């Protein structure tokens, strides 16, 4: 029996970046080949079924759903609440953001301790799938990376982060970044569009789920770990708690314990180890030690990811 994915994609050419290119590419390449039989945000939802029976739904939107969750949430739950995974296609930008990246990240408002459900295996499938398409298109100047957990809706003063967990399906932001040249790069958008169709393509490796704590927003150690394989094993990377939000969320006190517990609970299958960036302040290392002891799972410095065969993992 096939699985179901839905991708929310703004198809308006007069709003935003990247997403309308992705929509047009999906249509051009034949993935918008069926109608789902209902609308979303006033537009027809399109549907594709692959050879394995997996179903992919493409929901057109007028803006990015994160910018108006109260408006979109009822329709999201009405049509997609029983799906296996979901994603929002958009663009990435930022004053110090890396250039020429294809990014996938989990959602959450780390400061308030609200974490969206996360599926490590599907997220890994998607990242690897996008990277295969990047290589096929010879986009050698691009890299596929993950980012620290965040939610773009949190930057709106009127937003309510608790809305995130009212949609029960694991969601990822899927982006091209981080400047106008990349947003308009049709091959980059094509790699991302084609990559969506790999979210259920599983290589069968044993996935060890990690919680990553510390580091910068685009921490290379976490991104590189997604691609590491050894002896039929690999890492599952979803929620990443970056340094800046450890501070803002006061993770050094009792709030931090409760918020980290909420993060672990949001990861499908739990976690088998915690990996922390060695340059974190001592108070956050103490947090990691406390959580590791509470859950009886090992903790490791980030450098240990480079030699995964030396690691041990908790058994669940």
Query: 2-42 pLDDT, tens per residue?
Result: 999 999 999 999 999 999 999 999 999 999 999 999 999 99
Distance CA 121, CA 173 (A): 15
What six digits make up the tokens of 100? 């020429």
Q: Is the pLDDT of residue 157 over 60?
A: no
Average confidence score pLDDT of the chain: 96
Q: In terms of Cα–Cα distance, which of 209, 220, 224 is closest to 311?
A: 209
What pLDDT shows up at residue 181? 96
Per-residue pLDDT reduced to its tens digit, 110-141: 999 999 999 999 999 999 999 999 999 999 99
pLDDT band at 94 (very low <50, low <70, confident <90, very high): confident
Per-residue pLDDT reduced to its tens digit, 286-298: 999 999 999 999 9
Distance CA 240, CA 230 (A): 22
- Mean pLDDT of the region 168-195: 97
pLDDT band at 226 (very low <50, low <70, confident <90, very high): very high
Distance CA 152, CA 107 (A): 9
pLDDT band at 95 (very low <50, low <70, confident <90, very high): confident
Distance CA 68, CA 38 (A): 21
């Amino acid at each position: 029996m096939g699985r179901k994915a839905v991708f929310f994609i703004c198809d308006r050419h007069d709003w935003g970046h990247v997403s309308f290119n992705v929509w047009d590419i999906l249509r051009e390449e034949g993935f918008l080949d069926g109608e789902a039989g209902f609308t979303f945000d006033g537009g027809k939802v399109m549907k594709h079924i692959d050879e394995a029976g997996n179903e992919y739904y493409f929901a057109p939107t007028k803006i990015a759903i994160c910018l108006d969750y109260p408006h979109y949430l009822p329709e999201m739950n009405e049509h997609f609440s029983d799906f296996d995974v979901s994603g929002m296609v958009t663009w990435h930008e930022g004053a110090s953001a890396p250039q020429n990246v294809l990014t996938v990240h989990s959602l959450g408002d780390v400061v308030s301790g609200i974490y969206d459900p996360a599926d490590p295996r599907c997220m890994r499938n998607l990242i690897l799938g996008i990277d295969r398409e990047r290589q096929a298109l010879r986009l050698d100047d691009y890299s596929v990376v993950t980012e620290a957990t965040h939610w773009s809706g949190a930057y709106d003063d009127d937003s309510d982060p608790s809305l995130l967990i009212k949609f029960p399906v694991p969601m990822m932001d899927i982006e091209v970044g981080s400047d106008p040249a990349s947003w308009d790069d049709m091959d980059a958008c094509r790699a991302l569009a084609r990559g969506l169709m790999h979210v259920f393509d599983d290589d069968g490796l044993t996935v060890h789920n990690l919680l990553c704590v510390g580091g910068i927003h685009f921490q290379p150690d976490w991104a590189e770990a997604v691609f590491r394989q050894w002896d039929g094993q690999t890492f599952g990377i979803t929620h990443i708690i970056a340094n800046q939000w450890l501070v803002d969320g006061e993770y050094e006190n009792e709030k931090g314990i409760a918020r980290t517990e909420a993060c672990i609970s949001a990861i499908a299958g739990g976690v088998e180890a915690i990996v922390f960036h060695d340059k974190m302040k001592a108070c956050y290392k103490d947090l990691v030690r406390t959580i590791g002891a509470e859950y009886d799972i090992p903790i490791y410095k980030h450098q240990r990811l480079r030699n995964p065969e030396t690691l041990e993992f908790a058994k669940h």
